[in-house]
Amino acid sequence: MNKLNILIAASEVVPFAKTGGLADVVGALPKALRALGHDVRVVMPRYYGVDREKYALTPLEGSLGVPMGTTGEVWCGVYEGKLPNSDVSIYFIEHEEFFGRAGLYEEGGFGYSDNDVRFIFFSRAVMQLAKKLHFHPDVIHANDWHTAALPLMLNTQYAYDSDFAHTGSLLTIHNLEHQGRFSKGAMEVLDVGWEHFNAYELEEYDGINLLKGGIVHADVISTVSRKYAQEIRTAEFGCGLNTLLDIESAKLHGILNGVDYDEWSPAVDPFIAQKFDVGDMSGKGICKTALQRLFHLPQRNEVPVIGLVGRLAEQKGIELLSHAIWRLLEMDIQIVMLGAGEKWAEHYFSDIAAKHTEKFGCFIGYRNDLAHQIEAGSDLFLMPSLFEPCGLNQIYSLRYGTLPIVRATGGLDDTIENYQNDSLHGTGFKFYDRTVDALVNTVGWAVHTWYNDSKGFDAMRTNGMSKRYDWMGAAQEYETLYYQIKEGRKGQ
């Protein structure tokens, strides 16, 4: 098979900028694709927080002109660096006004009011950069609404550009909830022509929906688990786009995310108190004690510790949890929580933690080292998500011998096998209903297993720790889609 030129664009990439799993994915997938022999280039914005010196970024010569419709041409700089431990080039679009800010998308809970212009600009800059580099992609791989304009741009402004004569597009939806909905004024900078402002392509309630335009124009669409690829075709999960996704289902695929085991493995993790692995689990107890100490909880080895790490957002089931927590705290357990997000939840959970110091530790903020320590030191890991396109924490948990308790949705359902105590099969505990009762009862089941069925608990630990969701497998599935896209374009 011919090696491919792949251009991946995203709004966040580990280690440079991250608010969620999208960054983990785009930090890891390109390296696996590179290992398969492809020429992969990544592009992201140069936010204020991306340290040019720390990452040894070097400026590309000259500046990049980006046509912005009625605004005219906007000029920007480009920096080049490498994804850590690889020779994959990553380019940073530098524009002080758009990206020289503290946040990626928002500050203090308020989204930037010019997010439409910022990410339309970024997408157009990606196209212009490919030209400047004389890089002729076989596939442009866009991710989420921020870069969803790319397939549309490819089919309009660049449709007859010989630099993109053999280029197709893939749009990966990491989260359908965020669609890039803006007022129709954005059409002026998007500059693809008002004929694309119609109910089938970009228009929605007299505004524009960038993700919708991307879904229509991408050659292929993917989501980050098979289950979520099915779910989003239904009204319950489709966020208003289910009918369109159902119509486009022939080009919709589900590829489960991988995990970077160089970063998330108790055998090599530099953040944890003591390394451990299946053969010798003694380190896990040391990590548990260290975690209890960190959260000022009683250092009791016999009590199960339940970890929670994630954005405090509706998606993650925090409302359910806010009702369930009182009943959970009646059990003989400890809970440690790390999260940031909705203000009410930050206050609510820290207030409860302040009053239940024996049982509940809560850290509001973003701390990667603490996320690792919770994975390593907890016995159980709770993810009561209302929906979860893939979810990474439950996969990390498996590797750390921390049994996930999950709601059976999206990637959570695809990655966790329910415990079967008669056969000792399974890797965690699942519940189906979006109810407080289901959540509490399933935590109760897990806690009961901890106290009364250590054989089953240990067997599940071993089952989970032996599973591998590595990037190479996922990269091969993406590779298959890329070839399919290339073939499809040839026929046009």
Contact between 309 and ligand ADP per CB under 6 A: yes
Binding-site partner at residue 368 among ligand ADP, ligand GLC, none, CB < 5 to 8 Å by type: ligand ADP
The residue from 123, 155, 167, 175 that contacts ligand GLC (CB under 6 A) is 175
Sign for the CA dihedral angle at 277, 280, 284, 287 comes to negative
- Distance, in Å, from the CA atom of 219 to the CA atom of 197, rounded to the nearest integer, reads 20
455 burial via Cβ count (<10 Å: 0-12, 13-18, 19+): exposed
Only segment of 71-79, 122-130, 237-245, 386-394 that touches ligand ADP (CB under 6 A): 386-394
In 118-161 the beta strands, taken as DSSP E runs, fall at 139-143
| Site for ligand ADP contains 367 (CB under 6 A) | yes
Name which of ligand ADP, ligand GLC, none residue 222 binds, using a CB cut-off of 5 to 8 Å depending on partner kind. none
Closest among 478, 487, 468, 489 to 38, alpha carbons compared? 478
- C-beta separation of 149 from 81 below 8 A: no
Residues that contact ligand ADP, how many (by CB under 6 A): 17
User: What Rg, from alpha-carbon coordinates, does the chain have?
Assistant: 23
Closer residue to ligand ADP (CB): 448 or 468: 468
Q: Residue 35, interface with ligand ADP (CB under 6 A)?
A: no
Contact call for residue 368 and ligand ADP (CB under 6 A):
yes
Calpha distance 148→173 (Å, rounded): 9
Minimum separation from the CB atom of position 109 to ligand GLC (A) = 18
Least spacing, CB of residue 21 vs ligand ADP, in Å: 2
Nearer to ligand GLC, 167 or 385 (CB): 385
Among 7, 16, 21, 38, which residue interacts with ligand GLC (rule: CB under 6 A)? 21
Q: By CB under 6 A, is residue 171 in contact with ligand GLC?
A: no
For 438, the token pair is 């289901």
CB atoms within 10 A of CB 470: 13
Interface with ligand ADP by CB under 6 A: which range of 135-143, 162-170, 367-375, 454-462?
367-375
Q: Determine the residue with CB nearest ligand GLC.
A: 21
Length of the chain: 492
Identify the burial level of 81 via C-beta atoms within 10 angstroms of its C-beta, where 0-12 means exposed, 13-18 middle and 19 or more buried. buried
Q: Residues 393, 409, 427, 442: which binds ligand ADP (CB under 6 A)?
A: 393
Is residue 388 part of the contact set for ligand GLC (CB under 6 A)? yes
Q: What are 486's two structure tokens?
A: 């290339």
Strand partners, 89: 41, 82
Report what 209 binds from ligand ADP, ligand GLC, none; CB cut-off 5-8 Å by kind: none
Show the DSSP H helices in 162-305 as ranges. Answer: 187-190, 210-217, 226-231, 242-247, 282-294
Residues at the site binding ligand GLC, with contacts judged by CB under 6 A: 20-22, 25, 174-175, 224, 257, 388-392, 411
Residues at the site binding ligand ADP, with contacts judged by CB under 6 A: 20-21, 24, 309-311, 338-340, 366-368, 371, 390-393
